Amino acid sequence: MRHTHRTRRTGARAVALATMLALALTGCVSWFQPNRAPTTSVPTGEDVPAALAPYYHQVLSWRGCGDGMQCTSVTAPLDWSNPEGDTLELALIRQYATGGSPRGSLLVNPGGPGGSGVDFIRDSVDFATSERLQREYTIVGFDPRGVGASTAVTCGDDAVLDDYIYGVVPEERGSDAWFDETERRNAEFGAECLADTGELLGLVDTRSAARDLDLIRAALGDETLTYLGYSYGTYLGAVYAELFPDRAGRLVLDGAIDPSADESEFTLAQAQGFEGALRAYLADCVDRSDCPFTGTVDEAETRVAAIMRALDANPLPAPDGRVLGSSTMFTAIILPLYNRDNWDYLDQLFTDVEANGTEVAFFLADAYNDRESDGSYTTNTTQAFLAINCLDMPSDPDRDHMRAEAEELAAAAPVFGPWMSYGGAFCPQWPFSAERPREAITAPGSPDILVVGTTGDPATPYRWAEALASQLENGHLVTYDGEGHTAYGSSTCVTDTVDDFFVDGDVPASDPLC
- Cα–Cα distance, 133 to 429 (Å, whole number): 44
- The rounded percent of the chain whose pLDDT value lies above 90 is 89
Q: Is 152 exposed, middle or buried (0-12, 13-18, 19+ CB in 10 A)?
A: buried
Q: Which residues, including other chains, have CB under 8 Å from residue 179's CB and lie 6 or more apart?
A: 399, 422, 425
β-pairing verdict for 105-109 and 138-142: parallel
Catalytic residue (choose from 485, 490, 491, 499)? 485
User: Which residues face 93 on adjacent strands?
Assistant: 71, 141
- Cα–Cα distance, 450 to 418 (Å, whole number): 35
- Cα–Cα distance, 50 to 96 (Å, whole number): 32
Predicted pLDDT of residue 16? 36
Q: Using an 8 Å Cβ cutoff, are 482 and 492 in contact?
A: no
- Residue 231 bears catalytic tag: yes
Amino acid at 227: Y
- pLDDT tens digit string along 12-66? 344 334 323 222 222 222 222 222 333 344 445 578 899 999 999 999 999 999 9
Q: Using an 8 Å Cβ cutoff, are 299 and 321 in contact?
A: no
Q: What are phi and psi of 118, to 5 degrees?
A: -65, -50
- pLDDT tens digit string along 374-406? 999 999 999 999 999 999 999 999 999 999 999
pLDDT per residue, tens digit, the chain (514 aa), is 444 555 555 443 443 343 232 222 222 222 222 223 333 444 455 788 999 999 999 999 999 999 999 999 999 999 999 999 999 999 999 999 999 889 999 999 999 999 999 999 999 999 999 999 999 999 999 999 999 999 999 999 999 999 999 999 999 999 999 999 999 999 999 999 999 999 999 999 999 999 999 999 999 999 999 999 999 999 999 999 999 999 999 999 999 999 999 999 999 999 999 999 999 999 999 999 999 999 999 999 999 999 999 999 999 999 999 999 999 999 999 999 999 899 999 999 999 999 999 999 999 999 999 999 999 999 999 999 999 999 999 999 999 999 999 999 999 999 999 999 999 999 999 999 898 899 999 999 999 999 999 999 999 999 999 999 999 999 999 999 999 999 999 999 999 999 999 999 999 999 999 9
- Cα–Cα distance, 506 to 238 (Å, whole number): 20
β-pairing verdict for 111-112 and 7-8: antiparallel
Q: Is 223 exposed, middle or buried (0-12, 13-18, 19+ CB in 10 A)?
A: exposed
Helix, coil or strand: residue 169: coil
Helix, coil or strand: residue 415: coil
Sign of CA dihedral 36, 40, 41, 42: negative
User: Which residues face 230 on adjacent strands?
Assistant: 254
Q: Which residues, including other chains, have CB under 8 Å from residue 363's CB and lie 6 or more apart?
A: none
Predicted pLDDT of residue 37? 38
429: which DSSP letter?
Answer: G
- Residue 3 bears catalytic tag: no
- Residue 490 bears catalytic tag: no
User: Which residues face 312 on adjacent strands?
Assistant: none
Report the greatest alpha carbon distance in the chain: 69
Domain parsing of the chain, residue ranges: 158-200+261-368+395-429
Residue length of the chain: 514
β-pairing verdict for 63-64 and 70-77: antiparallel
Q: What are phi and psi of 482, to 5 degrees?
A: -175, -175
Predicted pLDDT of residue 21? 29
Predicted pLDDT of residue 392? 96
Nearest Cα neighbor of 108 from 403, 488, 507, 448 is 488
Sign of CA dihedral 380, 381, 385, 386: negative
Predicted pLDDT of residue 6? 55
Predicted pLDDT of residue 36? 32
Amino acid at 318: A
- Cα–Cα distance, 417 to 407 (Å, whole number): 8
Catalytic residue (choose from 143, 222, 254, 457)? 457
Predicted pLDDT of residue 45? 57
- Cα–Cα distance, 225 to 221 (Å, whole number): 10
Strands across the sheet containing 70-77? 63-64, 70-77, 87-95, 138-142, 105-109, 225-230, 248-254, 449-456, 475-483
Q: Is 176 exposed, middle or buried (0-12, 13-18, 19+ CB in 10 A)?
A: exposed
Question: In terms of DSSP H, where are the helices of 289-434?
Answer: 297-313, 326-337, 344-354, 359-368, 381-392, 399-412
Predicted pLDDT of residue 101? 87
List Cα–Cα distances, 81 to 234, 340, 414, 478, in angstroms: 24, 44, 45, 37
- Cα–Cα distance, 207 to 209 (Å, whole number): 5
Nearest Cα neighbor of 202 from 433, 418, 370 is 433
User: pTM for the full model?
Assistant: 0.92
Question: In terms of DSSP H, where are the helices of 137-231?
Answer: 158-166, 176-197, 206-219
311: which DSSP letter?
Answer: H
Q: Is 500 exposed, middle or buried (0-12, 13-18, 19+ CB in 10 A)?
A: middle
- Cα–Cα distance, 428 to 47 (Å, whole number): 40
Catalytic residue (choose from 231, 421, 446, 490)? 231
